[in-house]
């Protein structure tokens, strides 16, 4: 395929433009499907072009790896429930980091083995060998340690999101000094490798980077995990870009840079939505944490008002406006389709129904948007926090489904709260608040929620899907 080899740069340029259009499409729900298609076409172009420009490729290994990866990916995509999507995303990030590490290791070992052979013999066999310069060593240094950190950090994030026993949050005064020591040792080993090419230093840097990735993310609290997932997405992009320089692959450099920069921007947006700095999230310890949870548990029991699905159905069917606030409880109960049916029924009764989305609701960026899109909720009915907060005082009923921290008034009223200053959905300003939860347990940040004890709040306990379906039946039963 001389044609592809001769015009490889043009194919890479087309792929790069398509990747940019992919990000543009993914910036909004209405264009997300087109954006995904652009990305699929761009990736196909990148893979095919790289396949034909590679020198002396081992075809059976490449094709075998592609087929195996495709089989695993398709099987996972078809079977993963939406409740497990956040940890699946984290796991995919880990694979990108691992790939960067393995490529860096292979490139160095390959170079070292070639360096032992006679240059004339290599040239006679059509192998152009040039001793690896400082620039390539630096690229491998960056790509390898960023990839290693991304790998173990993403594996821990996966375990945390999947509630695995081995992914335990660590805390204590010793954590930050240990993090600093590991990082300094890792960086020192990397610098020594860069200056001397010493393989012992390279292996030390890689091993310390793997350890640092785990120790770095392990203290981060559950409430900050959406930001962590976004940041790890960025890291995986930078790792890929670094390895792209090593492989002299322009497409990998462009794609990695786009992923890295977009992930960094998303992390910034999410931190802004939480009124926290990225440094505070990653090095400030857990959001909430054990101490807060213990203090909350030591408090005297507080009174809350509970009701039934029938009560909720009656109140909503007689309201003029309803705002639904989805949270992880909706994902856990797989209630998005039932919620869509409830919203449609209320609309048929002349009720104005809208959905309010907080930027960090759920377990990953855009989690609630994905769920609602899956249920075909109209895009115009889904409003972000800044768009809908001013409407809550005039809203008759707010229905909170499994959300906790993103509607906690303590963020505005309690200076001692760990989430004080975080922008929230101001559901507490509505005329009536209804909250669907399995129990009065705290949310992912481990904090009690004053909204649940508000005089205007009615708690409805049970599985989100079952409760919403019962609400729909109640509205139908009222004869409306």
**Distance (Å, whole) CA 242 – CA 104:** 10
**CA nearest to 19, candidates 259, 340, 240, 287:** 259
Query: What residues contact 417, with CB distance under 8 A and at least 6 apart?
Result: 408, 410, 411, 447
Strand partners, 176: none
Q: 312, 399 in Cβ contact below 8 A?
A: yes
Q: Which segments within 203-351 are labelled E, that is strand?
A: 321-326
The DSSP line for 341-380 is: HHHHHHHHTT-EEEEEE-TT-SSSTTHHHHHHHHTT--GG
SS3 at position 300: coil
Q: What is the dihedral of CA 135, 139, 142, 148, to 10 degrees?
A: -140
Query: Phi, psi (5° rounding) for residue 433?
Result: -120, 130
User: If you search the block for the tokens 């497990």, which residue do you land on?
Assistant: 84
Catalytic residue ranges: 405
């Amino acid at each position: 395929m001389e044609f592809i080899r001769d015009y490889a740069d043009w194919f890479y340029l087309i792929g790069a433009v398509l990747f940019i259009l992919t990000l543009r499409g993914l910036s909004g729900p209405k264009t997300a499907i087109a954006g995904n298609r652009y990305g699929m076409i761009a990736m196909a172009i990148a893979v095919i072009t790289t396949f034909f420009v590679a020198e002396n490729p081992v075809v059976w290994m490449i094709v075998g790896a592609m087929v195996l990866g495709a089989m695993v990916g398709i099987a996972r995509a078809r079977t993963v429930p939406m409740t497990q999507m956040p940890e699946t995303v984290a796991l995919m990030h880990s694979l990108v980091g691992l790939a960067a590490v393995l490529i860096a290791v292979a490139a160095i070992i390959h170079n070292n083995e070639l360096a032992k052979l006679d240059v004339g013999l290599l040239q006679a066999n059509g192998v152009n060998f040039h001793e690896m310069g400082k620039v390539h060593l630096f690229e491998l240094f960056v790509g390898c340690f960023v990839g290693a950190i991304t790998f173990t950090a993403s594996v821990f994030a996966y375990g945390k999101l999947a509630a695995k026993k081995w992914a335990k949050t660590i805390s204590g005064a010793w954590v930050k000094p240990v993090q600093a020591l590991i990082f300094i040792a890792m960086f020192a080993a990397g610098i020594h490798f860069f200056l001397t090419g010493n393989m012992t230093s390279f292996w030390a840097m890689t091993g310390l980077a793997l350890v640092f990735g785990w120790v770095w993310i392990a203290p981060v609290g559950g409430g900050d995990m959406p930001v962590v997932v976004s940041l790890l997405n960025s890291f995986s992009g930078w790792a890929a870009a670094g390895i792209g320089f090593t492989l002299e692959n322009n497409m990998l450099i462009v794609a990695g840079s786009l992923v890295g920069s977009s992930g960094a921007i998303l992390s910034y947006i999410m931190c802004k939505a939480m009124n926290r700095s990225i440094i505070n999230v990653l090095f400030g310890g857990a959001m909430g944490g054990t101490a807060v949870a213990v203090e909350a548990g030591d408090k005297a029991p507080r009174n809350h008002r509970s009701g039934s699905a029938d009560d909720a159905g009656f109140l909503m069917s007689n309201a003029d406006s309803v705002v639904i606030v989805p949270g992880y409880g909706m994902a856990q109960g797989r209630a998005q389709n039932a919620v869509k049916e409830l919203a449609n029924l209320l609309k048929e009764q002349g009720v104005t129904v809208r959905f309010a989305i907080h930027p960090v609701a759920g377990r990953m960026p855009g989690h609630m948007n994905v769920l609602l899109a899956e249920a075909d909720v109209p895009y115009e009915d889904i409003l972000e926090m800044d768009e809908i907060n001013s409407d809550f005082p005039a809203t008759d009923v707010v229905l909170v489904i499994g959300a906790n921290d993103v509607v906690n008034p303590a963020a505005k009223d309690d200076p001692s709260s760990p989430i004080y200053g975080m922008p929230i959905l101001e559901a507490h300003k509505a005329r009536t608040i209804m909250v669907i939860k399995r129990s009065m347990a705290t949310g992912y940040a481990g904090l009690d929620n004053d909204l649940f004890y508000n005089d205007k709040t009615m708690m409805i306990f049970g599985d989100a899907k079952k409760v919403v379906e019962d609400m729909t039946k109640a509205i139908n039963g009222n004869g409306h």
